[in-house]
Amino acid sequence: MSVPNEQEVVVMGEKLSPQDSPTAAGNVTPPEKKKWAPLRTFLRKAAVFGRVELRGIAPIPIKERTVTRTINVFTLWWSMSVNILPITFGMLGPIYGLCLRDSSLVILFFTLLTTLLPAYLSTLGPKIGMRQMVQARYSFGRYLVSIPVLLNLATLTGFSIIIAVVGGQCLSAVAGGGGNVLSVNVGIVIIALLSLVISFCGYRVLHVYERFAWIPALIAIIVAVGTGGEGLRQQTAPEEAVTAPAVLSFGMIVSSYMIPWACLASDFTTYLVPTTSSNKIFWYSYLGLGLPTILLMILGAAIGGAVTNVPSWSAGYESNLAGGVLAAMLEPAGGFGKFLVVILSFTLLGNLAASSYSVTLNFQLLAPGMVRVPRYVFALILTAIVIPLSIRAAVDFFLNLENVIALIGYWSSAFLGVVMVEHLYFRRGDCESYDPDAWDTASLLPLGVGALAASALSFGLVIPSMDQTWYHGPFAKTTGDIGFELAFVVTAVLYIPLRHLEKRLSGR
């Protein structure tokens, strides 16, 4: 892992070197900076030893792309996926009237398809050396990129809220769901604060944590399946035959879980050496993200189909939803089972910390001048946002889950349609065409009007194709929700002529 040069470290918006210490001979610290001197000194030393990443969104120079441990890519995605979050999403299958077989097929095919996007974009990180949303400036421009960045922040914050709620429910379930012992709200606070520590430190600590976090998670999930195996067989048969709208609408939920990872994929690979095999990165990303997601979502669909037929599971579901069901499944294991539920709640930290890490980078892209605010400060801000919103979202969790996740799929599909066409069509897949010196100079970047117009115009077809609890489009009443497919395809098609027109008129 490469760290900032010991002779020059950026701390709290300023470059510090060892002689900048308040105790250095001949160095007089101005009064307005004196109160921050201990924190500056601590962060400089932490950066030198690689414990806190102080680099923000600036492109990573080639000399600092030195990580050779490619397997980190696999363990990162694997640990982000081996937890109870995919199980929670899989439980939505029976809500759409799908039996276990139909839910499993939807999960399998939609996951295999949509995982292609984050896996491919992960391969660009080492070659371009830019975070995912920085790369987006080369299509959306210096200023208009703030719109997809804002949407990405809302997406990552939404995921963070979902994860915090699920973790809080697990911790509360261990205490029997009693508010006098450990309420869901207290559990949410614990999960949010623990994830803050990892995301605050940054890239290196994140990868070290993810390297091992999946092991206890996998053990706990296997034990839960073993102790609850008899209950899993008690599936409820759907009252009606499966319909295309039900399949596509649940497919939208599955896709909305997978596609947003593409909007931050290269954030986790920028420190790899530029010559790292793209095939390795692709397959490590594809298998690390896709395989556990498929298996755990199918497990969630099985749990969702059986929960009403097992009294203890049903009671756990009523009190703490997914966390309560898992606690009921592990109840035969006694005290060890409760310990495993705690482990399951803490395994969500890997997912939450990775999302929070990307949030800290996206904040710096949101508006000019925010790049001067240190990355780790935004980790504190995110935690302050997530805790109260998670407490509110926990009141009607599955309704909020459906609403938030579905909206995520629409905008991110349109965004990725632009990014993929820009890279594969206009730049012919050439990573050297991204001038690293232009990343923060508006005159050297596209205006972004073509990208934004293509994305916005695609919603002329996306909106009639939505199938949500609060809106049923006329197309969706017949086909089911096909919004994310249309968002990607229509935006990609429109972007080609609109970008050509923009280049002709602006010369950029």
Burial of 369 (0-12, 13-18, 19+ CB in 10 A): exposed
pLDDT, position 5: 41
User: What are the pLDDT digits (tens) for 377-399?
Assistant: 787 888 898 899 888 877 776 66
| Spatial distance between the Cα atoms of 459 and 455, rounded to a whole number of angstroms | 7
Q: Kindly report, as residue ranges, where domains of CATH 1.10.4160.10 are found in the chain.
A: 68-406
Q: What is the CATH number of domain 68-406?
A: 1.10.4160.10
In whole angstroms, how far apart are CA 96 and each of 86, 234, 247, 493? 17, 18, 8, 32
In the chain, count H helices and then E strands. 22, 4
Give me the tens of pLDDT residue by residue for the chain, a chain 508 residues long.
Answer: 334 443 344 443 444 444 444 444 444 455 545 555 665 565 555 444 444 555 678 889 999 899 899 998 998 899 889 988 899 899 989 988 999 999 999 999 999 999 999 999 999 999 999 989 999 999 999 999 999 999 988 888 888 888 888 888 888 888 765 545 678 888 889 988 888 777 666 667 766 777 787 888 899 899 989 998 889 999 988 777 888 888 998 998 899 889 989 998 998 899 899 999 999 999 999 999 999 999 999 999 999 999 989 998 998 888 777 778 888 898 888 888 888 888 888 888 878 877 777 787 788 888 777 777 777 778 788 889 889 988 887 777 666 666 666 677 899 999 999 999 999 999 999 999 999 999 999 999 999 999 999 999 999 999 999 887 778 889 888 888 899 899 999 999 999 999 999 999 998 8
User: What are the pLDDT digits (tens) for 430-444?
Assistant: 999 999 999 999 999
Q: Chain centroid to CA 324: how far?
A: 24
pLDDT, position 355: 79
Q: Which two tokens stand for residue 200?
A: 């605050």
Question: Do residues 135 and 266 make contact, with C-beta atoms less than 8 angstroms apart?
Answer: yes
| Spatial distance between the Cα atoms of 210 and 331, rounded to a whole number of angstroms | 28
Specify which residues 272 forms β-bridges with.
Answer: 67
Question: Do residues 465 and 483 make contact, with C-beta atoms less than 8 angstroms apart?
Answer: yes
DSSP state of 446: -
Which amino acid, one-letter code, is at 143?
Y
**Angle separating helix axes 203-227 and 184-201, nearest 10 degrees:** 140
pLDDT, position 50: 45
| Spatial distance between the Cα atoms of 447 and 401, rounded to a whole number of angstroms | 35
Question: Do residues 307 and 325 make contact, with C-beta atoms less than 8 angstroms apart?
Answer: yes
DSSP state of 82: S
Q: Which two tokens stand for residue 167?
A: 């973790």
Burial of 396 (0-12, 13-18, 19+ CB in 10 A): exposed
In whole angstroms, how far apart are CA 24 and each of 13, 45, 81, 350, 472? 20, 15, 47, 39, 67
- In SS3 terms, 132-200 reads as HHHHCHHHHCCCCCHHHHHHHHHHHHHHHHHHHHHHHHHHHHHCCCCCCCCCHHHHHHHHHHHHHHHHH
pLDDT, position 21: 43
pLDDT, position 222: 92
Specify which residues 472 forms β-bridges with.
Answer: 467
| Spatial distance between the Cα atoms of 252 and 241, rounded to a whole number of angstroms | 19
pLDDT, position 49: 46
Burial of 181 (0-12, 13-18, 19+ CB in 10 A): exposed
Stretch (H or E) spanning 112: helix 100-114
Specify which residues 238 forms β-bridges with.
Answer: none
Helix, strand, or coil (residue 36): coil
pLDDT, position 4: 40
Record the pTM.
Answer: 0.84
Question: Do residues 292 and 86 make contact, with C-beta atoms less than 8 angstroms apart?
Answer: yes
DSSP state of 52: S
Question: Closest Cα to residue 257, out of 99, 392, 93?
Answer: 93
Q: CA torsion sign, 329 to 331 to 333 to 339? A: positive
Phi/psi class of residue 13: alpha, beta or left (left: φ > 0; alpha: ψ in -120 to 50)?
left
